[in-house]
Every structure is written in structure tokens, then in C-alpha cells.
Amino acid sequence: MAAEEGAMSPTRMLAEGHLRVATGGGAPADGGIAVRHLPHHHPAKKDGVGGITEQDNHEDVDSLPSQELKKLANGNNKVPGTLDDYKRLVVPIVEEYFSTGDVELAASELRGLGSDQFQHYFVKKLISMAMDRHDKEKEMASVLLSSLYADLLSSCMISEGFMMLLESIEDLTVDIPDAVDVLAVFIARAVVDEILPPVFLARARALLPEFSKGIQVLQVAEKSYLSAPHHAELVERKWGGSTRFTVEEAKKRIQDILREYIESGVIDEAFRCIRELSLPFFHHEVVKRALTLGMENISSQPLILKFLKEAAAGCLISSNQISKGFSRLAESVDDLSLDIPSAKDLFDKLVSTAISEGWLDASFSKSAVSEEEMQNTSAEKVKHFKEESGHIIHEYFLSDDVPELIRSLEELSAPEYNPIFLKKLVTLAMDRKNREKEMASVLLSSLSLELFSTDDIMKGFIMLLQSAEDTALDIVDAPSELALFLARAVIDEVLIPLNLDEISSRLRPNSSGNQTVQMARALLSARHSGERILRCWGGGTGWAVEDAKDKITKLLEEYNTGGDLGEACRCIRDLGMPFFNHEVVKKALVTAMEKQNDASILALLQECFGEGLITINQMTKGFTRVKDGLDDLVLDIPNAQEKFGAYVELATGRGWLLPTFASVP
């Protein structure tokens, strides 16, 4: 398999739609057929972080110790703490799926991993592994993506996964000569299956270098496949495709089965016909069409409710498919209101009945709460949340203790108000010194990995931008500061450039907020923008980042040549950059490897940790940065990996590292 590289991913686009059927050149091992999704606008689930440089070797699986695998299997470490963990664990899932064709098993194992923020990598890994195999596996990969859409993979994750593939196509072609054409088919298939919006091609083209192979992929997808006569059928049959039903045929059969049931009332016959379709991952369409018929013909509601209740009780239709069918109808209820004026009231009653009878998860009513309804919920609760958030943020500015802040935020048990927290954080930081602004950006990066979805972060920035004119009355340079926060979020991969487009689309044209987004774009498009934006607040003290690094290097060199432990700690404290102490940890560990002076350096880290000078969060971040750079370090320090392993063992024993830190095998 080719080594893949996903540097800073410029994706995570919102897509709309769904679907597809069957396996490729052969049927799944269990004899059944898989199914693709029909178009619908499903609310995106929690998204994760942007692309990260990857080594995409199959040997990753072998490098995971068997004990660690057992821990993960037994639930002792259910959620991979890092992308490296996740990479190792998804490979066997994909391999097993290619062997068995069992979509349900693959979905269950992926769900068991958790780590929604890394699922763009699953998309990339699945397709890149299929690209190097036969048509059967290529078809199976497309079917699996379509089956997992919305249930486990959000449109943003699928878009980002494809963008990462486009960015790494140069490497893929080394081992897969026809990689350009194969990836073009995958993209065209995703568009036809409506799990990737057609606009993805235009947006991706704008983000790729003009003469790159990624551009070639998009051109082939558009001209050779999506623009061809009868392109949908052409793309669907490219790898063997379905030998049973087209989407429209499946929808028509479901409609006929339900109408016949309403006329006859014979439920067993209806169940038999649904079962014979062999489309378990398409049962959400059964639910949606049944509910729609019940709303169109009130007299048929008792039969419809009986049908759905017994189908759920008999496990003919899974609870997941039931919820998905209700979700799809919820998204189209406004359109239904044109033909059925009381559609919303009728739908609400159906939801209430289904929940009360126990065949629709009670959480559905919570997830169906609209953004407007969320904003109109208990003013008292919102007021309390804002007050508590203010206390938590003030405490963080004093302590720089990210884990403690996350614990406090979790204790509030109000994830629906995450955007409000973000707005409060940035507003308070804008009215303070550079140190607090830097800390706010650092915190946003941590929250995007731990608690906040991309949607939470986007909503928070939208709230900030909508009130930008009011904020400017108290903070004169608020627009420019907010533009820097937005640009920094992109550089830190908390957001991606395409998120700025969506944020802008939800603001009034020519408003102050929209102008601020344009300022952020301008900052990002400037030469050396990454370096400039990263040091826009000088690490919090007005210094450039490189100056701070230089000071850290000098104090470590002085300490290493016989300096005093207390003096070294004082110098670190005098830097006044607690949120940048991960650099101290990183440079200290590298110095220990180079100078062969482990004891002295480790004593310094122990003293800093013991005094609370370097927090567990900063310590973990420093170790992680060294781990990420080990491949380069071994070129100069042959025993770097062995040394680092010993440091990790010592640090773990002394409690320096967070439990989520994954040691190097």
C-alpha cells in the first residue's frame, strides 16, 4: 500500500444526501446484500479535527502490543487517545470487512472505537486500501461508506476524508499506477450515492495546487463520469454494482408494499415482503414512507403505528433505522406542510406516541430540538451557564489548567450551550492582554479534541460575529481581534477554510461580521500566514515564538552545563508563558537524548511538575510532540526511540502524563 500523507487538511465540508445498494463483483459472505442511502438532509454529527501527517502502512497493526489490543477489546481503553491509536485499530476493521462483507459488524466495531473526531481518517483508509484491491473490494468500500453515512460518518467527515485522498494522490500513484482514475470513480460514486455534494468538486478544486494530480482526479471525475450520458448507471455498474434494485425501484417496491398493507391489513405479508427486499440498511425509507402515508391518510394511522411498533419489536427494523426514518421526515416536514397543513402537529403526535410506546428512543425528541428552540429554552438556565462559564474561564486564565477546565465544563452537563461558552471565552480574552488571547486559542484547540464539535465551534463564532458591532462599542479593535481568532482557529485546525464559507453564508451581507470573516481570509492568504498568525500574540508576552524558543534553549543549555535547579525553574517561571511550557518539555527531552544527561534533565522536569510549574497537560503535549518527531530524531540520535520509551515509562510511573497518552511501542 502506498504511504499516504495528509498534511493540513483544508476540508471538512458539509454535504447533503445519502445512498446505494449491494456489493461489487461478488455478494457479501452472509449472502445478503448491503444497501446505499437515499438523499436526505441529516443533521451532521460531531466532527473532528483536520488532517494530520500520516504514515499509512499496514504494518501499523502489528506494531500495537497485544496487551494494548486486549485492553481496548475489553473496554479498559475504549476510545483511542490519539490518531496513532486510531490508525492502528481501523486497519483490522477494514480488513475484516473485506473478508466478510458484514456491514453491521464493521459499523459495530467502528462505533465501539468512538473517537468521532478521527473518522475522516477511516474514510481515507477504507478507500486507499480498496484502491489497491479488486473491483469487489472497491464496490464494498463504496457500499460501506454509504451505509455508514449519517449513522456514524457525518458529511463533513466524508468530505474531509476525500480531500485528504486528493492531497495524497501523488504518493498513492507510486504504488497504484491508475490511482487518479480509481479515485475519480470513488468521488463520482459518492456524488451519485449522494453522500458527497456535487459542489465538493468546485470547492476542492479551489483548494488544490493548479497543476496537481488532485486537480486531474477532479477533472476525470467530472468529465469522464459525472458528465457522461446515463452517468449514474455508468458509475454504479463500474465495479459490478447492484444486481438487484436501483434506488427508485427499491422506493417504489416499499411504497407498493405499504399501500397493499393499508388496504389489506395483513401485517405478516407486509413483513415478509419487507424481509425479502434484503435491504436492512434501507429500512429508514420504510419508516419515512410509512409515517408519510399515516400523515396523508389519518384513518390509516392505527395500522401504520401497529406496523412500525411490531416491526421494531420483532427486530425487523432496527432502532437505529427507526430513528433515522423519523429524522429524515423531521427534515422534510416543512415541505410536507405545503400539502398537509397540519403536518408538523401530526408529526409531533407520531413522535410522542412512538416514544411513549417504547419503539422510538426518547433521545430523539431532544436531538430534534431546533437551534431556535435551543436559544429559547429556560433563560434562567442560560443565565446560570453564563455565570458559571465566566468563573471557569477566569480560573483558567489564572491557572492555565486545561484538564481542570474541561472537568468543570463537563460538570455543568450542558453540551448544548458549548457555543455560548466559546463566545464567552473569546469575548473575555479580547478584552485582556495577549497572554489570555493566546491561552484562549490554545484552549479552543484542546476543546475541539475533547468536547466541542466543529458545529459547536462554528455556532460560537457565528454568535460572536452577529454581535460584532455591539462588541466593538466596548472593545475598539474587536473586529481585527476576532479575525485573528478565526484565522488562528484555521491554522490550529480547529476549523478548516471551508467552514469560513459556511459561517459567512449565515451572516447578513455587508455586515460587520461578514467583513470580519473577509479579514480572516485575507490573513490566511498572506505569505507565511501560518507563522505570522501563530505568533500574532507573541506567545502571550509580546515575544515572537522564535524568541521564546531561543530563550528556552539557552536556559536548558545553561542548566545542562552545571546550572542550579532552582535557578532553571525561576527562569522558566519568568518566561511567563505557562501555555508554551510544552516547548520546554520537548526541548528538555531532546537535550537529554543528545547530551546523554538524562538524570539532570529528568530531575528538572520532576521539579517543574512537582511545583506545578508545568501542568500535566503541558507535559503530555511536550511528550506527544517528541513522539511525533521521533522518525526525524533517529537520523541524528540512533537510540532516540529506545531513550524516549524509557522516558515515557518513567513519566507514566510518576504521573506526569494524561491517561490518554499512548506510549511508543
| Segment 256-315, tens digit of pLDDT | 999 999 999 999 999 999 888 777 767 888 998 999 999 988 999 999 999 999 998 888
Cα 559 from Cα 601, distance rounded (Å): 9
The 10s digit of each residue's pLDDT in 498-520 is 888 888 888 877 788 888 998 89
pLDDT for the residue 368: 52
Radius of gyration of the chain (CA): 27
Alpha-helix residue ranges (DSSP H) falling in 193-300: 199-207, 213-220, 231-236, 247-264, 267-277, 283-296
Residue by residue, DSSP assigns 654-665 as TT-S-TTPPPP-
What pLDDT score does 541 carry? 38
Give me the mean pLDDT over the 333-354 stretch: 85
- For the cut 80, the answer to whether the pLDDT of residue 450 exceeds it is no
Residue 528: pLDDT over 80: no
The mean per-residue pLDDT over the stretch 565-573 comes to 86
CA distances from 357 to 302, 325, 326 (A): 13, 17, 15
3-state DSSP assignment of residue 149: strand
Asked if residue 576 lies in contact with residue 438, where contact means CB atoms within 8 angstroms, the answer is: no
With 50 as the cut, is the pLDDT of residue 138 above it?
yes
Grid cell, residue 298, equals 389519518
pLDDT tens digit sequence for 474-503:
777 788 889 999 998 888 778 888 888 888
Provide the pLDDT for residue 663.
46
- Give me the chain's average pLDDT, please: 77
pLDDT score recorded for residue 532: 76
pLDDT tens, 426-439?
999 988 888 888 88
What is the per-residue burial (b if ≥16 Cβ within 10 Å, else e) of 536-560? Answer: bbbbbbebebeebbebbeebbeebb
The residue that leads in pLDDT, 474 or 90, is: 90
Give the distance, in angstroms, between the CA of residue 217 and the centroid of all CA atoms in the same chain.
24
Is pLDDT at 457 greater than 60 in this prediction? Answer: yes
Q: What angle do CA 197, 513, 485 make, to 5 degrees?
A: 85
C-alpha cell at 307: 406496523
Confidence at residue 3, expressed as pLDDT on a 0 to 100 scale: 38
pLDDT at res. 166: 94
66 exposure class (CB count in 10 Å sphere: 0-12, 13-18, 19+)? exposed
Q: What is the mean pLDDT of residues 385-414?
A: 87
The larger pLDDT score, comparing residue 65 to residue 139, is at 139
- The mean pLDDT value for 532-542 works out to 63
- pLDDT for 372 equals 42
Walk me through the domains of the chain, giving residue ranges and CATH numbers. Answer: 78-237 (1.25.40.180), 247-363 (1.25.40.180), 379-534 (1.25.40.180), 545-654 (1.25.40.180)
Q: Where residue 101 falls among pLDDT bands split at 50, 70, 90?
A: confident
Q: Which of 617, 627, 598 is closest to 655 using CA atoms?
A: 617
Q: How confident is the model at residue 445 (pLDDT cuts 50, 70, 90)?
A: confident
Q: With cut-offs at 50, 70 and 90, classify the pLDDT of residue 582.
A: confident
* Confidence class for position 77, pLDDT limits 50, 70, 90: very low
DSSP secondary structure string for all residues of 278-314: T-GGGHHHHHHHHHHHHHH-GGGHHHHHHHHHHHHHT
CA distances, 617 to each of 55, 438, 584, 624 (Å):
26, 16, 13, 11
**Percent of the chain predicted with pLDDT > 90:** 17
Question: In 10 A of CB 216, how many CB atoms?
Answer: 18
pLDDT in the model for residue 577 = 66
Between 72 and 185, where is the model more confident?
185
DSSP E strands, 1-57? none
Give the long-range contacts of residues 220-228, CB within 8 A, separation 24 or more: 220/180, 220/181, 220/184, 221/184, 221/185, 221/187, 221/188, 221/191, 224/181, 224/184, 225/184, 225/185, 225/188, 226/188, 226/191, 226/192, 226/198, 226/201
What is the C-alpha to C-alpha distance for residues 10 and 495, in angstroms, rounded to an integer?
A: 9
CA atoms within 13 A on the CB side of 392: 23
For residue 393, what pLDDT is reported?
A: 92
Give mean pLDDT, residues 610-638: 84
Amino acid identity for residue 142 in this structure? S
Q: Note whether 9 and 163 are within 8 A (CB).
A: yes
Q: Give pLDDT tens digits for 179-208.
A: 999 999 999 999 888 788 888 888 888 888
What was the pLDDT predicted at 664?
41
Sign of the Cα pseudo-torsion (147, 148, 154, 157, in order): negative
User: Which of 166-170, 604-608, 630-634 is the least confident region?
Assistant: 630-634
pLDDT at 165: 94
With a cut of 50, say whether residue 48 has pLDDT above it: no
**From CA 97, how far away is CA 385, in angstroms rounded?**
45
Residue whose grid cell is 454535504: 15
Share of the chain above pLDDT 70, in %: 81
For range 75-97, the mean pLDDT: 73
Res. 216 pLDDT band, cuts 50 70 90: very high
**What per-residue confidence (pLDDT) applies to 538?**
64
Is residue 454 predicted with pLDDT exceeding 80?
yes
Local structure of 412: helix, strand or coil: helix
Confidence of residue 105 (pLDDT cuts 50, 70, 90): confident
Interacting residues of 249 by C-beta distance below 8 A, sequence separation 6+: none
Per-residue model confidence (pLDDT) at position 232: 75
H or E segment at 600? helix 598-611
Residue of 558, 625, 550 whose CA lies nearest to 585: 625
> Distance between CA atoms of 153 and 122, rounded to whole angstroms?
9
